[in-house]
Each structure stands twice: as structure tokens, then as C-alpha cells.
Copies of this chain bind each other. A is one copy, B any other.
Amino acid sequence: MIKDPSEFRFEAHRMADRIADYFEEITRYPVKSRVKPGEVLSLLPELPPESPEPISGIMADFERVIMPGITHWQHPNFHAYFPANSSYASVLAEWLTAALGQQAMIWETSPAATELEERVMQWMKQMFGLPEHWTGVLQDTASASTLAALLTAREKASGFSINEEGFAANSKLRIYASSETHSSIEKAARIAGFGRKNLVKIPVDEVFALDTAALEEAILRDKAAGYTPCCVVATIGTTGSAAVDPVRKTGEICSKYNIWLHIDAAFAGTALVLPEMRHFADGLELADSYVFNPHKWMFTNFDASAYFVRDPEMLIRTFEILPEYLKTRTRGKVNDYRDWGVALGRRFRALKLWFVIRNYGTEGIRTTVRKHLDLACWLSDQIQRSADFELLAPVNFSLVCFRYKPGHITDKETLNQINQQLLTRVNESGNLYLSHTMLNGSFCLRMVTAQTYLEKHHLEKAWHVVLETSKTMSDERNMG
């Protein structure tokens, strides 16, 4: 067992080298882990160790047992899901966060964590052109931010009576979101007691954006049927295809009917660092709450979800409970962020944002995001030029949705099967990692060009692998 700082210092330098080696060698690993279910587990002893073991022994097992089971999210050819980017600056900050071991639940227990959080949230409003009158707080994930939004909307609609009395007298509240909305909305609706059936899924248009006419119809229909429309969730950059719901029009409808508007920009929010991308957020000032995740595209280690609200008092009123053991002499004079969300305990998350924003500078973030957008353009050009591939959605940000479509195959099911096969083979190659979604019943490959370390040559290689794999599949079909 490490017993004193001098032993720690020795191990810390070894760990620093191991981690620097990892970043140097990361492209040598298969992006997606190749282990089979149960393989890692079977290599881990069933009983906990009785005696202390040195770090060197643990690290030997780390290399032997854990590393083969790692999917390399920080590999430049990680193109799946949305990224969970870190960066060199963020990793260093996380080391410091781990060492300080702060518990940032209230101001008194870490004044620096509280006030740095206040400041970086203000910085981000500036950087992303968010409304000046908003107030920000860090949550762990967009799931938690969205839950906070739905709860505040619930309390506002019920005059804060559900917190007090439960749902009894107010059970007919409804939430609205597009059929392309993220699963966390439904999860939050269930957790907060609305029920899945009271999340009304509104159809989307041909570019997978919320149909606002259908939204207004649904609201009117529900009002006539005795429901209280409580919250609309609009998305800037859906998970499926990075579609953008019309924010202004949605906001106008919400204003008209006095409905809470929550905006989910978990992934695409980072793009607003570019003035030329802010048209996607036109009407943002009409929102009551807004979430974007620096831990996705802003080079900041998971977890760091930036949640902004128009009225922090309403947020606090939703979550505040004050037991004696948490009463402090500074209460009311400072922000006690434990009252701004679900969890009482909070990590010192602002530190990594401070490191990233300063080490990149706003300029560095803009440059990197612009590069990612350019790479997405390049990729979509390649796809459009390839007779055997097609785009399945507009490329609004750094996500490209496409499929393989050899000219002679038109049957939807066959195409779906071929693309599922292509996905599996490409991922098994170890050269890149893609994920998928369904768009209008079509199996669609999702390729994100937003990994921190992604450069043009990585993407060229990845596209080459996709092309070559599709050709091999075509040859096999012709031979079979």
C-alpha cells in the first residue's frame, strides 16, 4: 500500500509516462475493443485480495486484463455515437481535481470550486453567444440537466404543489418533443412521474426537424381534452441525424401557451462558438432552460454538462432542502450549487473547463470546431461523389449520416442488412468505430468527425476502409 508522498511521487511519475505513452501510441490500438462478453470478467479473480498489492502489480494486470477491453474513445478514428472528448489540458486538470478531492456541494466546502464554476459558466455564455440574462450551473450529464428542466417545469405548472403534495391534483401534465428526441427525455418524464404516455411525440419534417404546426395542434387538442401542456423539449442537433428543431417558432408557441421551453443542444451546442453557426439557435432567448455538454465536443473530460436557466430562483425552489447539518453562515450570500440539481455531492468540475478554455483560448476552440465541420463537409462530398453511397440526412454539424447503396439493390430490407454487415465489418477491422441509427426505416451509418485529435489523414484513411470494405462485400456477393 502506498503510505507516503514520496512513494506517491515515484508512482505518479511512472503513471505520467504510461499515460503519455498511451497518447503517443493510441492509433496502434484497435478503436473498438475486440473482447468477447465475459472475457475480461473471467480474467479477474472471483474473490477480493486479502493482502495489499503494489501499484506495479495492479498495472501489470491493467495491461493484461483491462486494456484489451478498452474501446478507445480518444482515438482519432472514434467516429461512433457522439464523442466523449477529452484533451491534454483537460486530463491534467482532472489529475488536479482528483488530488484536491473537493466536495463542491456548498460554497463553504469549496469556495474556489463554487466561484470558479460561476465564472466559467459566465464565460461560456460569452463564448457561445447565449442570452446575457441566463444563469449557468454544471450538472453531470444531459440526462440530469433535462431532468432538472422537466422538474422545474412541473413545479412551475403546478404552483410548486407536486413537490409538496405529489401528483394527486395535477396529474394531467403533458410534455412535447419530436419523434427524434433523445431517450433521456422519456427517461426524465418517467422519473419525474409524468409517465411515458404524457410525453407526446410530435412528427418531424423531411429533414427530421420538429413539425411546429403539428406541435401546436397537439397542444390545442390536449388543452381541449383537459390536459395542461407543461413543457416542450426542442433539440439543436438530434442524436440520430443532428437535425435542428425550429427554435424561434417553437419558442413562440411556448410563449403563446405559457409552456416551459427546454433546449437540448447536448452535442451541437459547442458549434455555437462559431458566429456563422448561430443561425441554428435563432430564438434561443425564448427558452427557459438550455443544456449543452462540454464533455462531448468541447475537449473536456466526461462528466461536464452545462445547464443554463432563465430563472435560477425557480430552479433552486425546485431542489432546495435545508437540513441543520448543511446550514452555514454564508447561506443566501453565495451559490450553494447542491440546490441547483439532483445530487448533493458534486465534483470540482469547473477546474477542467477553466484549463480547457484557457489552454485552447476561445480562438483555439473555434479553430478546432471549424476543422471538424470542414471534415464533415469533405466526407459528405466523398459520399455524394460515390455512386454506391448516399447521404440520408443534411449535414448540419460534424455528423454524417449515410448508407451503402449499390446501384442494383433497391429492396429496403436488403439494404438494411448490407449496411448492418458493413458496420460490423468496419468496426471489426479495428481501424475505425462507427455507430448507426434508423432514419425513415433505413439503417443508417453515423460517422462523427469531432474527435479531439482527428486530422484529415485519419478521416481519409477511415473513408478508404469503408470504401474497401464495401467493395469486398460486393465482390463476395458477385462470387456467391
Contact = CB atoms under 8 A, between A and B. Distances in A.
Given A100-B70, A103-B84, A324-B438, A361 B51 contact: yes
Task: Please name the 10 residue pairs, one residue from A and one from B, whose CB atoms are nearest each other, closest first.
Answer: A193-B193, A69-B112, A166-B195, A167-B167, A94-B98, A9-B20, A48-B123, A12-B16, A2-B88, A40-B115
A358 B101 contact: no
A47 B362 CA distance: 10
21 contacts: A5-B21, A8-B23, A12-B20, A22-B99, A35-B112, A39-B111, A46-B119, A49-B358, A51-B364, A71-B102, A71-B108, A71-B109, A71-B110, A71-B111, A84-B102, A94-B95, A143-B343, A154-B193, A165-B196, A166-B171, A325-B446
A323 interface: yes
Interface in A50-106: 50-55, 57-58, 62, 65-71, 73-74, 80-81, 84-92, 94-103
A234 to B, nearest CB: 18
Given A98-B95, A198-B166, A8 B88 contact: yes
Contact of A92 (B39, B55, B92, B438): B55
Given A111-B71, A195-B167, A196-B164, A119 B15 contact: no
A398 interface: no
A208 to B, nearest CB: 13
B302 A164 contact: no
A197 interface: yes
A162 B194 CA distance: 8
A479 interface: no
Given A5-B24, A196-B164, A112 B437 contact: no
A9 B91 CA distance: 12
A410 interface: no
Nearest to A186: B321
A440 B21 CA distance: 58
A46 B123 CA distance: 7
A101 B89 contact: no
Contacts of A437: 324-325
A384 interface: no
Contacts of A343: 140-141, 143-144
B101 A74 contact: yes
Contacts of A38: 115, 334
Contact of A115 (B69, B183, B239): B69
A191 B190 contact: no
A351 B20 CA distance: 19
A358 B44 CA distance: 12
Interface string A17-44: 1111111100000001101011111001
A191 B194 contact: no
Given A49-B358, A141-B344, 17 more contacts: A13-B13, A38-B334, A39-B111, A48-B362, A52-B361, A58-B358, A70-B100, A70-B112, A80-B109, A81-B109, A86-B101, A98-B98, A98-B301, A151-B191, A166-B171, A166-B193, A167-B195
A302 B103 contact: yes
A306 to B, nearest CB: 13
A414 interface: no
Contacts of A321: 183, 186-187
A194 to B, nearest CB: 5
Given A103-B302, A111-B71, A1 B168 contact: no
Nearest to A187: B321
A116 interface: yes
A193 B38 CA distance: 38
Interface in A282-329: 295, 301-303, 319, 321-326, 329
A159 interface: no
A477 interface: no
Given A95-B95, A195-B165, A19 B23 contact: no
A429 interface: no
A382 interface: no
B171 A302 contact: no
A101 B37 CA distance: 21
A342 interface: yes
A23 B50 contact: no
A92 B193 contact: no
Interface in A157-176: 162-168, 171-173
A225 B359 CA distance: 62
Given A44-B116, A166-B193, A436-B325, A58 B354 contact: yes
